[in-house]
Structure 1
Amino acid sequence: MDEQNKNLILATVLSFLVIMVWFWFFPPEDPALTQAPPQTTEAVTDATVPTAATDPSTTAVPDTQTDPVADAPRVAIETPEFSGSLSLLGGRIDDLKLTQYRETLDENAETVRLFKPVGEPNAYFALFGWAGAEGIAADAVPGPDTLWTLESGETLTPDSPVTLAWDNGAGQIFRTTISVDEDFMFDFAQSVENATSDAVTLRPYGLIRRHGEPTDLKNFFILHEGLVRFTDGELEEVDYDDIVDYEVDDRERTRADRIEATESGWIGYTDHYWMTTLIPEQGQPFRSTSKYFEARDLYQAEAVMPLETVAAGATTTVTTKLFAGAKEWDAIRDYENEDGVTSFLDSIDWGWFFFLTKPIFWLLHTLNVYIGNMGWSIVVLTLIIKAMVLPLAYKSYVSMAKMKELQPEMEALKERTGEDKQAMQQGMMKLYKENKVNPASGCLPILLQIPIFFSLYKVIFVTIELRHAPWIGWIKDLSAPDPSSIFNFYGLLPWDAPEPGSILALLFIGLMPLALGISMWLQQKLNPPMTDPTQKMIFAWMPWVFMFMLGSFASGLVLYWIANNMITFTQQYLIMRSHGAKPDIFGNIKAGFKKDPKPANATGKPSGKAKPKSGSK
């Protein structure tokens, strides 16, 4: 197989790979349902709470049965990141807005709402309680529907915690002191005071409950949304449809999956940019449970702490953390490094190439700290990456320069060998060997680029730091496609550009995809041209095919590709010039020290004798 056929196969494979990835990222929409699914009226009953004498390890968390009363007392929450309230019914945090984030770039866009109370669509909340085990009745412990009283504090702020209290009337007083920091972490200190003459045994727990799947579920192959938990060194990510497929647990008559953590871990739900996570005291065992209540389409994540035996006249306190907010890298890193939350950075979906994605994002984030603009940070990041791989790419560019110089001789060889493919192949190999050219080295930069490309795509698509991050002029969001379009002559005409992702947007592409196509075309001009007409046509169309295919990708990724193409073009041009080749972008080549190469025969040697100069004998 000759080198040009190898290049064709490589280009075809890469194009097919891009097409397959395209359909993963942008799958066709499912057809609309013509009939609503049947509704079930099956009730989900509370799980029986076993006694310690039977099996204390199976102490169950009560299921929420009733909706909270609409006028239940509430406590306001005000922090630099949050606004909202918690309900004294169950002590639920069920009303939480992220004040620093809006749904869209529109000035009047609504603030992102993380938690919503039961009674609203897609209710989503967290609460903490106790499950009885021995010496205490099932209805003598606070649960999801317990009406607490506000014992101290008025508004929950970083400087003012609040304490909820509940007296069960049987000799135990339960308290929960809730505090919050400047970012996204709540602390729940649950205590029980036993004023009786007998010891009691019970378990503290925390749960996060979600009514149905998120309405803005992306369902992209590159992104995980659903359950995320870390248990004793192992990270687990479970999609919502896989949670639905859990086996039914007969003890609680629901679908569940339990893991007994021996040392450390956390459990919760992750969306594209937001996350809620229960974090028990690290270094202590707990039960990590994921449930699905099929009859009511409810997802529930639980952290059930070890049994606590409270002696007569004693008080026991257990503290559990709740992360609820944006997946900001620096905040999550600080919780891992300073607060000791084990491997908390893994809650961000770094993907298969995490060994590249993590350092790439760290470098991008660090550059942005100094530059203050994510777009220019991507350009500088590209420069750094290209500088790092330059030693590996240098030989490739030198080899391509020599191949470009040898192109006239290869054309002559093709004319001489005609349809004799074997002779053509032998002649080319001889030509490469004599000129110390390695044609396969041209693949190295492409192979290096693939994992870097996907890692950067992961960074741009997944991390919240790119969300609504502007670059220049019309690029207001590097995580979204270029909004400009020739459809309205880039804003000169009074109508709007096509919606990103639509068919019209693919046809009427923006300025950045156009720049991408041109940059690919320029880079292609420095490569040895194809001698086969079919191959030549395929390579000629490739920049423009990619231009349309990537037109609806995140503009940050397109910016990276443009910068990469232009830096590669500059590097390759300068290296070719330094080795005697004098290329120009219109395909002409002046070989410098080989001004008049003689045609070669099938052996790679010049054929015939040179004509004597005029006047020679």
Structure 2
Amino acid sequence: MDFKKTILWAVFSMAGLMLYNNWQIHEGKPSMFGGNPTPTAAKSDSAVAGTTKVDVPAPIQTAAAPVIAKAPGINTGAIETAEKFVLQNDTLVLEISASGANVVEAKLLKELTVEKKPVELFQYTPNHKYIARSGLIALGNTDLPNHTSTFKLIQSGKDETGRPFIVLGSERSGVKLEKTFSLNPKSYVVDVDHRVIQTASNSNPLVLYTELVRDASQEQKIGPFDGAFSASTFTGPAVYTEKEKFNKLEFSAIDKNKITIPTQVAAGEPAWIAMVQHYFASAWIPNDKSARDIYAGKIDNNLYRIGMQVPLGIVAPGAGVVEKVRLFVGPQEESVLETIAPGFALLKDYGYLTILAKPIFWLLENIHDYVGNWGWSIILLTILIKLVFFPLSAASYKSMARMKEVQPRLLVMREQYKGEPQKLNQAMMEMYKKEKINPIGGCLPVVIQIPVFIALYWVLLSSVEMRNAPWIGWIQDLSVPDPYYILPVVMAASMYVQTKLNPTPADPIQAKVMMYMPLVFSIMFFFFPAGLVLYWVVNNLLSIAQQWQINQMFANKSAK
């Protein structure tokens, strides 16, 4: 019996600890559990082990460590006042600045905020800076077209396939850079071709760099309770390589120079860089034909970057070379991400329980394909999970029912051996053995199911598919809390009924804790998304039905 208490207290303590930790993060304080595990070596923006400093972004050296230097400061006035060029399809609207030919605004037309306006992923405002930029660098000659250069419109319109495109060009030091941005219909992927033309004699090898730059803030409010629910999701740079897989870089770790990333990527090895936030992401995806170098760091107060360098080699006078890269700007829809690049689905982060979360989402998505409503899909998924765990739940409820049967005898024992805990425990163990009761049988099945519940929590937390997804009536968005708190109240009531169906603990303190737990958990569920609370409500109602039936079965046996 004491072991059962220990398990219960451990579960309740862990739940309380996780709730307090999420509240700490929501209040802007560091997580009690720290950020992502960080390797021992450190790398900053202005210096990499075995590198040298220069005044502007510097290129890789042949077969050596990358030379990555402090980036020139963003010319705020130039970006804000420069001419903007618009590129649009039916899902995405991009604004490209003539200053650097940087993508400074991206509106996702099918993803709406609480004000029913398109989500703006890229922004360049006084309160929030988040852009995609690229340019050229060369050893011995840094005055080349880069993200600070002035670009002019060369051509725009639609190509032979009907894709809208824009071509912007700039020339410095005898090197001309033309950037062509093209959009496919219904796509969040922008094809960006960098055409480099050498107009003068230059023996220095050229290097193309692509970067994502943003601050650490979350300016745009996605939902009415955004923050209370999404506080535990990751925001920041990320990198994928075939060898190292997916690696997230915390802003706080970058501040402390406590990050390491795979700086060099071999030719033929898939790799990409990204900026990730709740539900959405952006990423540069280069081709994998040549070796590349990756870097990340802080470039200004509350301004960070992650970038990749691709060597273009020496371009002969009068010759040219084209480097094709892709820029993704969009939601983390798993079915879409899987088609873009190797490992790209990892942008949708399920945490440490990915091995359970991915099949759960796969099942949920397939159910949705048939019923067409995410709320009913969650209900059907709950029923299926309940059926899978039916034997465990039945064993748990049978154990609880047996415990409820012998409850009067336990109370007599407590009075009989009052003040003699050793004799009381011995008598209880003998009774359990005689009656063939496992004192922890009611808790162990619940503990086994906890990882599945946590995995489902991350599925509902991470799935952008739930945004603006209605269920019935008052629930018009499963990704945010119930606006009228009806589901949390039903949740509390169902937990209270479950408590009444369970045997009353002999320990008065434990009995009070069990009585107050529904209230404590209902308060916590006030801040959870309606989709997750819906799962728990349905799960509790099914559990109540199963537990009541088993209790009745034992009651009928006792009556005979």
TM bin, normalised by shorter chain, reads 0.7 to 0.9
Q: Which of the pair has more CA radius of gyration? A: 1
CA pair 192-459 structure 1, distance change in 2 beyond 3 A = same
* Structure 1 Cα separation of the partners of residues 339 and 307 of structure 2: 24
Q: In the alignment, residue 569 of structure 1 is paired with which amino acid?
A: I
* Structure 2 Cα separation of the partners of residues 183 and 542 of structure 1: 47
Correspondences of 1:61-210 after superposition (within 5 Å): 62-67=71-76, 68=78, 72-104=82-114, 106=115, 109-117=116-124, 120-133=126-139, 137-139=141-143, 141-154=144-157, 159-168=163-172, 170=174, 172-181=175-184, 182-194=186-198, 201-210=205-214
Aligned to 1:47: 56
Q: In the alignment, residue 17 of structure 1 is paired with which amino acid?
A: M
Question: 1:554 aligned to 2:518?
Answer: no
CA pair 523-354 structure 1, distance change in 2 beyond 3 A = same
Q: In the alignment, residue 282 of structure 2 is paired with which amino acid?
A: T
CA pair 574-331 structure 1, distance change in 2 beyond 3 A = same
Correspondences of 1:263-282 after superposition (within 5 Å): 263-282=269-288
Aligned to 2:67: 58
Aligned to 1:215: 219
Deviates more, 1:50-59 or 1:320-329: 50-59
* Structure 2 Cα separation of the partners of residues 30 and 197 of structure 1: 54
Aligned to 1:461: 461
Q: In the alignment, residue 117 of structure 2 is paired with which amino acid?
A: E
User: What is the CA deviation profile of residues 168-217 of structure 1, one whole-angstrom value per residue up to 9, with x for unaligned ones?
Assistant: 473x4433222223221112121223455775521111112225533359
Aligned to 2:376: 376
Deviates more, 1:429-438 or 1:158-167: 158-167
SS of the residue corresponding to residue 512 of structure 2 reads helix
* Structure 1 Cα separation of the partners of residues 60 and 354 of structure 2: 45
Aligned to 1:20: 17
Deviates more, 1:341-350 or 1:81-90: 81-90
> Percent same amino acid at aligned positions?
28
SS of the residue corresponding to residue 400 of structure 2 reads helix
SS of the residue corresponding to residue 437 of structure 1 reads coil
SS of the residue corresponding to residue 163 of structure 1 reads strand
Number of residues of Structure 1 aligned to a counterpart in Structure 2: 524
**C-alpha deviation, 1:346, in angstroms:** 1.2
**C-alpha deviation, 1:394, in angstroms:** 3.0
Aligned to 1:581: 554
**C-alpha deviation, 1:240, in angstroms:** 1.6
User: What is the CA deviation profile of residues 2-26 of structure 1, one whole-angstrom value per residue up to 9, with x for unaligned ones?
Assistant: x1x4443333332222222221222
Aligned to 1:610: none
User: What is the CA deviation profile of residues 469-526 of structure 1, one whole-angstrom value per residue up to 9, with x for unaligned ones?
Assistant: 2222222222222221xxxxxxxxxxxxxxxxxxxxxxxxx22222111111222233
TM-score, with structure 1 as normaliser: 0.77
In the alignment, structure 2 segments of 5+ residues that lack a partner are 30-52, 222-226
Correspondences of 1:441-480 after superposition (within 5 Å): 441-480=441-480
SS of the residue corresponding to residue 249 of structure 2 reads strand
Question: 1:234 aligned to 2:239?
Answer: no
* Structure 2 Cα separation of the partners of residues 198 and 174 of structure 1: 15
CA pair 516-69 structure 1, distance change in 2 beyond 3 A = closer
* Structure 1 Cα separation of the partners of residues 537 and 502 of structure 2: 18
**C-alpha deviation, 1:332, in angstroms:** 1.0
SS of the residue corresponding to residue 527 of structure 2 reads coil
* Structure 2 Cα separation of the partners of residues 57 and 548 of structure 1: 52
Question: 1:544 aligned to 2:525?
Answer: no
User: What is the CA deviation profile of residues 412-453 of structure 1, one whole-angstrom value per residue up to 9, with x for unaligned ones?
Assistant: 444554554334333332332233222212112320232222
* Structure 1 Cα separation of the partners of residues 277 and 504 of structure 2: 47
**C-alpha deviation, 1:158, in angstroms:** 6.8
Deviates more, 1:12-21 or 1:419-428: 419-428
Aligned to 1:600: none
Deviates more, 1:76-85 or 1:402-411: 402-411
Deviates more, 1:371-380 or 1:537-546: 537-546
Of 304, 307, 310, which aligns to 1:305? 310
Aligned to 1:39: none
SS of the residue corresponding to residue 441 of structure 1 reads coil
* Structure 1 Cα separation of the partners of residues 431 and 65 of structure 2: 80
Where relative contact order (Cα < 8 A, 6+ residues apart) is larger, the structure is 2
Contact 2:94 2:107 survives alignment (8 Å): yes
Aligned to 2:335: 330
Correspondences of 1:252-267 after superposition (within 5 Å): 259-262=263-266, 263-267=269-273
**C-alpha deviation, 1:95, in angstroms:** 2.2
Aligned to 1:246: 257
Aligned to 1:589: none
Aligned to 2:7: 10
Deviates more, 1:306-315 or 1:262-271: 306-315
Q: In the alignment, residue 127 of structure 1 is paired with which amino acid?
A: R
* Structure 2 Cα separation of the partners of residues 298 and 186 of structure 1: 24
**C-alpha deviation, 1:103, in angstroms:** 1.9
* Structure 2 Cα separation of the partners of residues 120 and 114 of structure 1: 15
Contact 1:468 1:476 survives alignment (8 Å): yes
Q: In the alignment, residue 526 of structure 2 is paired with which amino acid?
A: G
CA pair 356-56 structure 1, distance change in 2 beyond 3 A = closer
Aligned to 2:297: 291
Aligned to 1:516: 491
Deviates more, 1:219-228 or 1:297-306: 219-228
SS of the residue corresponding to residue 442 of structure 2 reads helix
* Structure 1 Cα separation of the partners of residues 57 and 410 of structure 2: 83
* Structure 2 Cα separation of the partners of residues 525 and 57 of structure 1: 66
Superposition CA RMSD, Å: 3.2
* Structure 2 Cα separation of the partners of residues 50 and 329 of structure 1: 35
Contact 1:94 1:126 survives alignment (8 Å): yes
Contact 2:107 2:121 survives alignment (8 Å): yes
Q: In the alignment, residue 450 of structure 1 is paired with which amino acid?
A: I
**C-alpha deviation, 1:290, in angstroms:** 0.8
* Structure 1 Cα separation of the partners of residues 521 and 384 of structure 2: 24
CA pair 53-548 structure 1, distance change in 2 beyond 3 A = closer
